[in-house]
Amino acid sequence: MNLPEQAKLKEIYGETEKCGARFESLADNFEKIYHHDHAEYFTSPGRTEIIGNHTDHNGGKVIAGSINLDTIGAACPNDSDIIRITSEGYDEIVVDLTKLTRENYPAGTPALVAGMMEGAKKNGFKTAGFDAYVSTNVIAAAGVSSSASFEMLVCSIVNHFFNNEKMTFTDYAKIGQYAENVYWDKSSGMMDQMACAVGGPVLFDFADRNDLKYQKLDFSFGMFGYRLVIVNTGKNHADLSREYSEIPDEMKAVAKILGKELLHETTLDDLLAHCNEIEDDRALLRAIHFFEETSRVEQAAEAIRNKKYDDVLRLMDESGNSSWELLQNCYSMQDCHEQKITRTLALTKLFLKKINDGMCRVHGGGFAGVIAAIVPEAEMENYVNYIAQYVGKENVYPMDIRAIGAAHIG
């Protein structure tokens, strides 16, 4: 079985030994299960949200970056209308492209794949059957977009095999969003998909969903002596889909009172002028967060361009506080006594106060999952050992931003 070129692996991963072993295992399993003698290989990273929490779905701005955890796949067309995907550790997913309905695919990853194929067709792209074996080290259900990473991998496969690489990253994001909105009933935006697809640290503007604007930024935490540490705080086993969806829905309800569809079409001044007309206090607070957060993103992008990294950390800290206080996505109202995110934030803040440096914040959608801590490189090991006492070392992930997003790698 053929394997990706070593030079390509070095470009993406910065090394070839560990990642090479991953792809060798991937190839062996693909050949064993699907009996193809040739494969094409694909990668799609998870993502970190640097600043811009819950702004994308209302046309706001976000700075996000792909991370050095990824989903990888070996795939080959199978000359049929059937998609077969085996993810390491899970049962095979089978999707018949002639039977794409919610009734036929009501839940789970099969529904996601079916929704993506329907979304691809609705956006004018070709689909056909393929076999794929997939493996991932992206943390599942923990705010680093394991689902979007998988979605963008599938888009890369469909783009390469059936569409002559004509699909754009915006097309990828629309397809992933369609599947989540229509087949998963999840009112998600397109930030997760775009961050996984584009790669590197990127400033996104979601004002026009048909023409998403994005600009790569010259930035890493290592540039100014810090490391990103993602901490998985522990899983909340409740179904959080409703709470995720309530954030964009409440923001849109406020926009409607202001005579618009999305909040980006209006201003904070307009909101304040109609403040007393908004009976839902939480929706009002979330709208204030939206306007202030979008402003922070713009300020952070300017600070990055001017290499004012202290300002970047300050703005990220303000963002995290706003998510906790105004957006209110740090714990689930289904059981307010379980507060794994706020617990881990509080414990982390004690550490950061002691060293008088760094910051931490909820990461991603919130309610359960992960936090992001930005700590000085000299203190990273101390922080890892400290927080591991409370969450387990297996749940602490020092990581980096990687430059390459979703891609076919040969």
Q: What is the CATH number of the domain that holds 102?
A: 3.30.230.10
Looking at residue 141, its pLDDT comes to: 60
Please state, for a pLDDT cut of 70, what percent of the chain lies above it. Answer: 99
Task: Show the beta-strand stretches assigned E in 25-78.
Answer: 40-51, 61-77
User: Distance between CA atoms of 230 and 114, rounded to whole angstroms?
Assistant: 31
For the stretch 128-157, pLDDT in tens is: 999 999 999 987 766 678 899 999 999 999
User: Distance between CA atoms of 268 and 255, rounded to whole angstroms?
Assistant: 11
The DSSP bridge pattern shows strands 370-376 and 407-408 to be unpaired
Residue 93 lies in a domain: yes
For the stretch 308-350, pLDDT in tens is: 999 999 999 999 999 999 999 999 998 899 999 999 999 999 9
Name the one residue in this structure whose structure tokens are 């003698």. Answer: 37
Residues 6+ apart with CB under 8 A from 387: 229, 231, 344, 347, 348, 351, 373, 396
User: Distance between CA atoms of 109 and 92, rounded to whole angstroms?
Assistant: 10
Looking at residue 142, its pLDDT comes to: 60
Nearest CA to 87 out of 29, 128, 43, 41 is that of 29
Six token digits for residue 302 = 């300017």
Residue 373 lies in a domain: no
- Based on the structure, what is the number of domains in the chain? 1
How confident is residue 212, by pLDDT bands cut at 50, 70 and 90?
A: confident
Q: Please answer whether residues 141 and 45 qualify as being in contact, where contact means their C-beta atoms are separated by less than 8 angstroms.
A: no
- The answer, yes or no, to whether residue 237 has pLDDT greater than 90, is no
Nearest CA to 50 out of 223, 209, 203, 208 is that of 203
For the stretch 51-108, pLDDT in tens is: 999 999 999 999 999 998 999 999 999 999 999 999 999 999 999 999 999 999 999 9
User: Distance between CA atoms of 150 and 138, rounded to whole angstroms?
Assistant: 9
For the stretch 20-59, pLDDT in tens is: 999 999 999 999 999 999 999 999 999 999 999 999 999 9
The CA distances from residue 387 to 82, 339, 343, 347, in Å, are: 46, 16, 11, 8
Residue 331 lies in a domain: no
Residue 84 lies in a domain: yes
Residue 178 lies in a domain: yes
The CA distances from residue 270 to 25, 173, 215, 259, 323, in Å, are: 57, 31, 29, 10, 22
Residue 208 lies in a domain: yes
Q: Please answer whether residues 47 and 195 qualify as being in contact, where contact means their C-beta atoms are separated by less than 8 angstroms.
A: yes
Domain of residue 64: give its range.
Answer: 6-218+403-408
- The answer, yes or no, to whether residue 238 has pLDDT greater than 80, is no
Residue 241 lies in a domain: no
Q: Please answer whether residues 344 and 363 qualify as being in contact, where contact means their C-beta atoms are separated by less than 8 angstroms.
A: no
Six token digits for residue 100 = 């794409």
For the stretch 65-78, pLDDT in tens is: 999 899 999 999 99
The DSSP bridge pattern shows strands 82-87 and 213-216 to be unpaired
Task: Show the beta-strand stretches assigned E in 78-186.
Answer: 82-87, 93-96, 130-136
Residue 57 lies in a domain: yes
